[in-house]
Structure 1
Amino acid sequence: MNDCETRADRRPDGYNTARPARRKLFRRAGVLAAALALGLAACAQPRPTVTSKPTAPPSQIAPAAQQEPQVSALPPAGLAPPMQTPPAVREARVAVLVPLSGEAASAGQALRDAALLAQFEVDNPGLILQFYDTAGTAEGARAAAEQAKDHGATLFVGPLFSHSVQAVTAVAQSAGIPVLSFSTDPSAISANVFVTGFLLGPQVERVIGFAAEQGLQRVAVLAPDTPYGRAAADAAQGAAAKSGATLTRTAFFDPARANFSPTIREFADYTRRKATLEREKAGLAGASDPAAAARLKELAGQDASSDVDFDALLIPASGTALRQVISLLKYYDVDPGKVKILGTLLWQDENLTGEPALVGAWFPAASRVGYDRFTARFTETYGHPPSQLAALAYDAVALAAALGQTGDGSWGRLTANSGFVGVNGAFRLNPNGQIERMLAVREVTATGSREVSPAPTRFVQSY
């Protein structure tokens, strides 16, 4: 495990000196929280180099309603301003627990790069970052947490994996140290241990809620038979009930099988619908009126009736599995022109333009405004774009810097009811350990996607 302190007075390795030295990004409860400044201070041990690049966009961290700070007027010409004693710098020692070795080292380096960028950009001279290598294992995470605790850390940022979060929990709780993990697993949550990744339940709730608002009241789920797919189906049941919609049917396909056809055929109720259509065609064939002939011609290209019992279909899958499912749905006469296809955040970074049947589909997504700005700054600094994961590290460190700068030395305001605005939009940490994120809804187009429902910018309900 390498432990290195970094302070906000030097730039991250790879920083492009041509860019402005700092930018104002974070606002907190009506006050501009800070502009960023980062540096690598010397360590007792050799400083680890920043070799991997992060992968995520920049952000702003702020609560609900915010105002620009008031700037006092300059003193009259010729008069020197009164001497003031600068406030004492309050030290905030934050341990970043990430895999800097092992199979997940590239992800860990990306998280580290984003954390360093956040420290550089949020001007808190009292913020001290210490990086500890978890090696991507539970044992490594536990040892890293013990070392960080012994070094005086008051906040843990990370670790990445659920098993690592569970491994550091006892260490953190025994010392009263809050944990801002990067996990998306709700089972990793416990007292003062938060997950900051994008939770699946709110994604499903957002997209089904939006569909219901558009009048699509009958929802079905076709999901992979995996923990993720099962969790999505469970979330869909709650989301439908909350939005006033009805969950009409749910089915699971085995993503390990080469052929999903039997599952999709049964899900689509193809046998009954085919028989229904054949009876209608037979009845029309004996009729001689023009209307019957026109209807028979209209049905000529169909093998089954179009009377499925759902208006919207959630498919929490991506990649080859998604494309195979969509192709089979078309084959079994589930018309994407009549059934709105819904996805999850899995679609956010995927190129879906190669599948015409997905054009018009909806999926939840993080707000692009802060993310795109963060991506530009990250790319300028490190020479390549960040990943969505890196944005989590940026926001966590920026939040720590902002709160550490204005706080009383404790981290009680992590759960501020008004929330914050980060790289991925508005979010807040609940006292129960979950994170609430304001999500947009995007629609797949022939050339990419477009926003059809923007992410809200503030929380209107209390916990």
Structure 2
Amino acid sequence: MFAILKTARKSVAALALTVAGFALSACGGGGGIALGGGGPAASGGPVQVALLLPYGSGVSTDELVARNLENAAKLAVADLGGEINLKVYPTGAKAAQASASAKTAIAEGAQVILGPLYAEAANAAGLAAAGSGVNVLAFSNNTAIAGGNVFLLGSTFENSAKRLVRYGKGQGRDRILIVHAQNPAGEQGQQAIARAISANGAILSGTVSYEFSQQGIVSAMPRAAKLANSSGANSVFLTAGVDADLPFVSKLLPEAGVTPGTFQYMGLTRWDGRPQLFTQDGIQGGWFTMPDTQRYAQFESRYQSTYGSRPHVLAGLAYDGMAAIGALNKSGRAISGTALTQGSGFSGVYGAFRLRSDGTNERALAVATIEGNSVKVIDAAPKSFGGIGF
């Protein structure tokens, strides 16, 4: 059963981590923060977009995600009614190919690059485009590569951590114990949670880490329970992933004495992906974040009716990128750093989002829980950046 922890996985350092009538628009007026190079001037015609995707990597899952991202981008192009000329470039499995594809795209007139998916490829594309004033809207969620001309579209750990810490504080659940894996995703997640706790006036009651293995989790849970019960914590924040360590942590931690109800369980990752886990004590009643469910449902329905299958969970990132590009081009603005970081943000598949001057992003997220065998939204995603949670 525990073999899932032993399978090869791309870490968060490499991974990214929604319709006729579906608005491709900015959330409102508003300026942004100037970022150095202004980027190509607005053309007054269709904007040239290069879509960099992991075609040719030799990995079947990469091909699947690439196809879904391309499909979503084409839906957006159709909705924009000829305002975008889209051309796809493969990035393969190596950063060098992503760099070469970015250079080719720019030579062929690309005004902005959408993608790549993986952090190494996105970083390489950003470096290749840096001297040309072309910005890169990457599908990655790895904040280590953000900045300069590279902007992240993927939802970051920081987004989820801030949303849950702020919501928890409002519910009186502000003394938080962090439990995380000793791997890149776990450690980056722990850092994001700790920053959110510090920035929002909550209390860090302690941190417990575990080796990313079955024995590591078994050994660490009694330590976590002891600290939770002796530190005054009233919440426990897990970095565990639903397809990896969460099934074991959410079972063993309650058994060790971290009683749900006495302690509020929170999750940095999506907990709705494996319904077979819903009956576990640590999952029932736990909090996690989700995008705007209404907007995503619209996109999912449109995608399925067009392509005959449900979209990959990351597919909407391509639509969101196109939403931002299309909104700026429609208003006659260049796809510059200043325009991309307008304070009002944009409206996309996953709800409201905005790009920050440091290359990261803010996304409007809902807080959800597991109640019985169902997912229940307990605090809806804000519709704009004047709402709660920002």
Cα distance 1:118–1:333, how it changes in 2: closer, same or farther (>3 A)?
same
Which range moved further: 208-217 or 232-241? 232-241
Specify which of 130, 141, 160 is matched with residue 117 of structure 2.
160
Which range moved further: 92-101 or 349-358? 349-358
Give the deviation of 1:241 after TM superposition.
2.2
CA distance in 1, matches of 2:128, 2:134: 8
Q: Deviations over 1:58-97 (max 9, x none)?
A: xx5431479xxxxxxxxxxxxxxxxxxxxx9613111001
Q: Which has the larger radius of gyration?
A: 1
Give the deviation of 1:364 after TM superposition.
1.3
State the one-letter code of the partner of 2:265.
I
Specify which of 289, 303, 306 is matched with residue 381 of structure 1.
306
Counterpart of 1:14? none
Which range moved further: 89-98 or 324-333? 324-333
Cα distance 1:410–1:207, how it changes in 2: closer, same or farther (>3 A)?
closer
Cα distance 1:339–1:144, how it changes in 2: closer, same or farther (>3 A)?
same
SS at match of 1:24: coil
Quick check: 2:26–2:327 contact (8 Å CA) kept in 1?
no
Q: Deviations over 1:2-41 (max 9, x none)?
A: xxxxxxxxxxxxxxxxxxxx72322xxxxxxxxxxxxxxx
Question: Any stretches of 5+ residues in structure 1 without a counterpart?
Answer: 1-21, 27-59, 67-87, 274-305
> Map of 1:38-77 to 2, 5 A cutoff?
60-64=24-28
Note if 1:401 corresponds to 2:326.
yes
CA distance in 2, matches of 1:441, 1:377: 25
Q: Deviations over 1:312-364 (max 9, x none)?
A: 00111123521212222222222112111000233243323232442111011
SS at match of 1:337: coil
Quick check: 1:136–1:161 contact (8 Å CA) kept in 2?
no
SS at match of 1:324: helix
Cα distance 1:348–1:137, how it changes in 2: closer, same or farther (>3 A)?
farther
Specify which of 245, 253, 266 is matched with residue 342 of structure 1.
266
SS at match of 1:212: helix
RMSD value over aligned CA atoms?
A: 2.2
Counterpart of 1:23? 20
CA distance in 2, matches of 1:381, 1:319: 29
State the one-letter code of the partner of 2:266.
L
Specify which of 246, 254, 279 is matched with residue 354 of structure 1.
279
Note if 1:312 corresponds to 2:235.
yes
Cα distance 1:315–1:25, how it changes in 2: closer, same or farther (>3 A)?
same
Note if 1:105 corresponds to 2:31.
no
Quick check: 1:440–1:453 contact (8 Å CA) kept in 2?
yes
Note if 1:325 corresponds to 2:249.
yes
Specify which of 91, 95, 99 is matched with residue 50 of structure 2.
95
Counterpart of 2:11? none
Counterpart of 1:184? 141
Quick check: 2:176–2:205 contact (8 Å CA) kept in 1?
yes
CA distance in 2, matches of 1:325, 1:361: 13
Cα distance 1:61–1:126, how it changes in 2: closer, same or farther (>3 A)?
closer
Give the deviation of 1:307 after TM superposition.
5.9
> TM-score, length-normalised on structure 1?
0.72
Specify which of 346, 370, 384 is matched with residue 458 of structure 1.
384
Structure 1 stretches of at least 4 aligned residues deviating more than 4 Å after TM superposition: none
Q: Deviations over 1:222-259 (max 9, x none)?
A: 11111111122222222222232211111111122445
Counterpart of 1:366? 291
> TM-score, length-normalised on structure 2?
0.85
CA distance in 1, matches of 2:210, 2:52: 37
CA distance in 2, matches of 1:191, 1:361: 37
Identity rate, percent: 28
> Map of 1:76-91 to 2, 5 A cutoff?
90-91=45-46
Q: Deviations over 1:145-202 (max 9, x none)?
A: 1110110100000111110111112221111101101011111112121011001012
CA distance in 2, matches of 1:160, 1:244: 34
Give the deviation of 1:114 after TM superposition.
0.8
Quick check: 1:419–1:426 contact (8 Å CA) kept in 2?
yes
Counterpart of 2:353? 427
Note if 1:227 corresponds to 2:184.
yes
Question: Any stretches of 5+ residues in structure 2 without a counterpart?
Answer: 1-18, 31-42
Give the deviation of 1:435 after TM superposition.
0.9
Counterpart of 2:38? none
Which range moved further: 144-153 or 413-422? 413-422
SS at match of 2:26: coil
State the one-letter code of the partner of 1:23.
A
SS at match of 2:93: coil
SS at match of 1:442: strand
Cα distance 1:452–1:177, how it changes in 2: closer, same or farther (>3 A)?
same
Which range moved further: 91-100 or 401-410? 401-410
Quick check: 2:69–2:314 contact (8 Å CA) kept in 1?
yes
State the one-letter code of the partner of 1:24.
G
CA distance in 1, matches of 2:180, 2:236: 10
State the one-letter code of the partner of 1:403.
L
Cα distance 1:268–1:91, how it changes in 2: closer, same or farther (>3 A)?
same
Cα distance 1:356–1:91, how it changes in 2: closer, same or farther (>3 A)?
same
Quick check: 1:89–1:126 contact (8 Å CA) kept in 2?
no
Counterpart of 1:80? none
SS at match of 1:135: coil
CA distance in 2, matches of 1:440, 1:334: 25
Q: Deviations over 1:434-456 (max 9, x none)?
A: 11111110011112211111111
SS at match of 2:160: helix
State the one-letter code of the partner of 2:220.
T
